[in-house]
Amino acid sequence: MHRTVPSFGRRHFLASAAVGVIAAGLPLTSANAATVPPPSSPSSETLTPAASTPAPASATTILQSSSAGTVTPDQSGDTSVRPFHFRASDQDLADLKRRIKATRWPDRETVNDDTQGVQLATTRKLADYWANHHDWRRAEAHLFSYPHFVTNIDGLDIHFIHVKSKHPNALPVIITHGWPGSIIEQLKVIGPLTDPTAFGGTAADAFDVVIPSLPGYGFSGKPTGVGWDVPRISRAWATLMNRLGYTRYVAQGGDWGNAISEVMALQQPPGLLAIHTNMSATLPEPIRKALPAGPPPPNLSPDEQHAWEQLTDFYVHGLGYAIEMNQRPQSLYGLADSPVGLAAWILDHDIQSYQLIAKVFDGEQAGLTRDDILDNITLYWLTNTAISSARLYWENRNGKGGFFDPRGLPLPTGVSAFRNEIYQAPESWARTAYPHLVYYKAHPVGTHFAAWEQPQLLTEDMRETFRSVRAA
């Protein structure tokens, strides 16, 4: 099974029968970005939530899991920022356990490796832990120990976590997840970013952290019409930061979060100072032309050869999920009906993340825990967002450029390159791709979910990247 777990690869659509290039509907240059129409969202009124701690249940929006994520869009132009809370019903949690235990299992794969997909033994171990040991109430309590809010932007309710630092002059950052990630993916970086003195940093490193749920994901509203593509989400994020009162801020992301952060940089909304990515877009033209099967360009350095091998494996073996969600997301009914089916689909994102997750369910310590993995999958299940999240691929199906194509960003950019990402971007490629590269670091560890698996390394890289713009 050669695929990539949480998110970037899927955005590549087949540009031809031979080369799977998911053109994520992204502008390739800042000139292109200038042609993006202005947002049709409500006026960017500056509003700040009344409290930076979770409001009591009586004062919050409480959605049972059967309706979460399906908030009726407010078309009235309301720009208020409202506290949000969620508690899954006991009935939905019992139904989840029942469905897991009632899984109709397929035969075992006919090979002794993962080349046919997510292996039966791994999936059975996951299901056993999910049904008999995983505690969503624990996850729910931890998740809502942070302040949650919702606000209507462009007719859709957008959910987000907003944690303010106790330190003065904290730099606001908006952090965006991807597929099959969620806000749960970023929880481990909230403390180090907002309270750096407790995590090896200084008060000068402090951030205010905003973590939104993508439209159709988690607790955000599910679009009922077309048009919520990457450029539109990018404009909505700028509206959100303005609405929270931030006139200077930075952006960070991986997977879809990288695409959105890069397009924000191309759109250059007032106040956006810089971005950081942990899944960069750096492919040189000779590499793009040689994919998927080569031969590779001559005279590649060792790190470039490593990236080439990762890319060819992904393009040849790892695009199946992305192609289906790009072309036929509504056909994936099984993901909404079978928890185990949903889990297997999510695990089969990229081969290197899958192999790490398989080790976790074999009992190894590997950055993530079984609870980490199942907290995220359970959020997808309880909010019934398997199909609505997949539509983001469909929305971006007609893009003009590949997901990993350089876009010539006009803002300062930092790059973290983790060893077992879909591909580990070499520094030589990053310096060519980003005209204003202010920070680059290659790490010998790490997969696709950097904030989740390597929060300390990602936090340190973000601090270094954004120091250059704090006093600007």
pLDDT, tens only, 340-363: 999 999 999 999 999 999 999 999
Per-residue pLDDT, 3: 34
Per-residue pLDDT, 366: 86
Catalytic residue ranges: 255, 393, 448
Q: Write the DSSP string, 114-171.
A: STTSS-HHHHHHHHHHHHHT--HHHHHHHHTTS-EEEEEETTEEEEEEEE--SSTTPE
Q: How many CA atoms lie within 13 A of 326 on its CB side?
A: 25
Beta strand ranges found along 302-435 (DSSP E): 413-418
Per-residue pLDDT, 187: 98
Question: What value does the mean pLDDT take over residues 53-77?
Answer: 36
Checking if the pLDDT of 279 tops 60, the result is: yes
Checking if the pLDDT of 71 tops 50, the result is: no
Per-residue pLDDT, 50: 33
Question: What value does the mean pLDDT take over residues 278-286?
Answer: 97
Per-residue pLDDT, 41: 34
CA distance 455 to 459: 6
Per-residue pLDDT, 76: 55
CA distance 393 to 322: 7
Give 77's pLDDT tier (boundaries 50, 70, 90): confident
Per-residue pLDDT, 9: 33
Per-residue pLDDT, 418: 97
Per-residue pLDDT, 30: 56
Checking if the pLDDT of 325 tops 80, the result is: yes
Give 73's pLDDT tier (boundaries 50, 70, 90): very low
Per-residue pLDDT, 472: 66
**Mean of pLDDT over the chain:** 87
pLDDT-wise least confident of 55-69, 170-184, 229-243: 55-69
Residue in the structure block whose two tokens are 């890069």: 262
Per-residue pLDDT, 402: 81
Question: What value does the mean pLDDT take over residues 109-133?
Answer: 97
CA distance 241 to 261: 13
pLDDT, tens only, 419-454: 999 999 999 999 999 999 999 999 999 999 999 999
Per-residue pLDDT, 29: 64
Per-residue pLDDT, 239: 98
pLDDT, tens only, 393-409: 999 998 777 889 999 99
Question: What value does the mean pLDDT take over residues 84-90?
Answer: 98
**The token pair that represents 304 in the structure block:** 């470039």
Which of these, 344, 407, 374, lies nearest to 26 by C-alpha position?
407
Per-residue pLDDT, 471: 79
Per-residue pLDDT, 124: 98
